[in-house]
Structure 1
């Protein structure tokens, strides 16, 4: 395990460094001037120049980047141009909402994805397999925001089963909080669940043709026993490989879903900060998202090694 982490750490750090460069440079290439937004629409050129100086934006770009990166390495992402609050405080205020949404969506993704994948991969009825294939295709082809709107119209407006917009913290009232969380979490999870189901289904169908499965059947093992003890265990390893990526995509999709369901999370912060050219907040959000994705990928590979003993993390053949 230690050898694996030592080998992967340089590449992970390289990814984070490249992300920091892109997160710093790309917003500034998009046009717009934060100093103008801070100074106000009626500010003179001299006032805007004074604001740029106060914000340190009159220094060379490389100097600005190294100053920002040094702060990041010390846990300081700077101060928001717009609100004047520390960026870490802004992230802290919104982080809990997005984490709740991502965790709920991840749980639904795993439950729905595994259920659909196992049903499609183990079914002997052609019509049932075709139906499940079509279901997964529709879920994959439908964008998360459109799924969210359809669910809101059906379960929220038509049937009035769940609230459509807003949120209540799980820490304040868990029962009401879950009701506000279900619709956005379901909308966010369905495309990823369909993707996971496809992987499990394909892996299971392939596993049924493997020699070790045929041997177990020849020895008199029931299909259910073969499926649970041999086919499913090895097929889940395939899905686990992509789990880290799926969780990262859930965090990215949360930006859109939070806007659809009016949740006050990191997604809403990203949208407002981008529109206001609040570069430091945008940079922190991008770097945070990639850091989480890289960490999840490492944890996924470690989990995969525990699920499949044939995989060795120590670098031996």
Structure 2
């Protein structure tokens, strides 16, 4: 087990280094000059050259990559060209919005999808199965930003129950902050709940036809106990796989929803950095998203061994 974890961790670190190199190279080859954007088109060549030297943009590519990677390892993510503050502080501040938003969305998605998928599988062909299928197809087909606009029209414009956008900050109180994240979380959760419902239904249906399920029924256990004690635990691996993918998507894919609701999160920060050509912020945000995806895949791999004893024995 220790040898397996060591190999996985080594692979994780190598992947992070390779991804960081790709991110740096892609950002460096993007069209446009940050110095020109900051100073405007009327700036003289001498002024542009001085600013490029101050920002370190006139140094060789590999040297700048080494300096950036060394700063990331030591916790120094650099200085934002646009905001003039350390990028690490910006990420921590914006993560205080995006992370709770993603957690609420994941909780809503699981609370909707797992029971609905299990009930649809246990009542295959019945009314609950039809409802789950329609919900899954509709929620997958409708984009999250369109759901966000509908929620704003209904709950903010028409009913006036929830603010249409903005974030008051956690200093204003827990409930006002969570209240401002509810509609964005629902907009993010519904499409993911549709996918998770379909996967849960398929996975549970497969286990319902396994020998251990028929044996449990033959021993006199009720269908409900067999469903929740035997079928659902053995269907967790595909469900955990989708949950791992959705967790990263809900953090990295919040760009559109955060812009619709005017939330100061990581997604909006990435959009602003892209529009303002703030390369250092873009690099750090994209690297954070990539690292999150890689780490979540690592956690999901470990969770397989937790839920399946056969994988533990094989390891």
* TM class, shorter-length: over 0.9
Q: How does 1:31-110 map to 2 (within 5 A)?
A: 31-110=31-110
**Do the aligned residues in 1 keep the contact of 2:82 with 2:276 (CA within 8 Å)?**
yes
* Cα deviation 1:56-81 (Å, max 9, x = unaligned): 11112122111211211211111111
Residues 1:155 and 2:155 aligned together: yes
Alignment correspondent of 2:236: 236
* Cα deviation 1:17-42 (Å, max 9, x = unaligned): 12211221212322011011222343
Alignment correspondent of 1:176: 176
Alignment correspondent of 1:275: 275
**Do the aligned residues in 2 keep the contact of 1:144 with 1:253 (CA within 8 Å)?**
no
Distance 1:83 1:169, change over 3 A: closer
**Do the aligned residues in 2 keep the contact of 1:136 with 1:195 (CA within 8 Å)?**
yes
Residues 1:138 and 2:159 aligned together: no
Supply the distance in 2 between the matched residues of 1:240 and 1:119 (Cα, whole angstroms).
Answer: 18
Three-state SS of the structure 2 residue aligned to 1:167 is coil
How far apart are 1:10 and its partner, in Å?
Answer: 2.2
Three-state SS of the structure 2 residue aligned to 1:310 is helix
Gaps of 5+ in 2: none
Alignment correspondent of 2:226: 226
How far apart are 1:150 and its partner, in Å?
Answer: 1.6
How far apart are 1:259 and its partner, in Å?
Answer: 0.5
How far apart are 1:125 and its partner, in Å?
Answer: 4.4
Moved more, 206-215 or 158-167: 158-167
**Do the aligned residues in 2 keep the contact of 1:38 with 1:51 (CA within 8 Å)?**
no
How far apart are 1:85 and its partner, in Å?
Answer: 1.3
How far apart are 1:138 and its partner, in Å?
Answer: 1.1
Supply the distance in 1 between the matched residues of 2:150 and 2:111 (Cα, whole angstroms).
Answer: 21
Supply the distance in 1 between the matched residues of 2:125 and 2:55 (Cα, whole angstroms).
Answer: 66
**Do the aligned residues in 1 keep the contact of 2:132 with 2:197 (CA within 8 Å)?**
no
Q: How does 1:224-303 map to 2 (within 5 A)?
A: 224-303=224-303
Moved more, 139-148 or 295-304: 295-304
Alignment correspondent of 2:11: 11
How far apart are 1:199 and its partner, in Å?
Answer: 1.1
Supply the distance in 1 between the matched residues of 2:117 and 2:168 (Cα, whole angstroms).
Answer: 33
Three-state SS of the structure 2 residue aligned to 1:205 is helix
Gaps of 5+ in 1: none
Alignment correspondent of 2:113: 113
**Do the aligned residues in 2 keep the contact of 1:95 with 1:266 (CA within 8 Å)?**
yes
Moved more, 260-269 or 39-48: 39-48
**Do the aligned residues in 2 keep the contact of 1:4 with 1:315 (CA within 8 Å)?**
no
* Cα deviation 1:75-127 (Å, max 9, x = unaligned): 11111112221111221221111111111111111111212211211114434
How far apart are 1:162 and its partner, in Å?
Answer: 2.1
**Do the aligned residues in 2 keep the contact of 1:3 with 1:315 (CA within 8 Å)?**
no
Three-state SS of the structure 1 residue aligned to 2:235 is helix
How big is the alpha-carbon RMSD for the aligned residues of Structure 1 and Structure 2? 1.7
Supply the distance in 2 between the matched residues of 1:229 and 1:63 (Cα, whole angstroms).
Answer: 57
Moved more, 8-17 or 256-265: 8-17
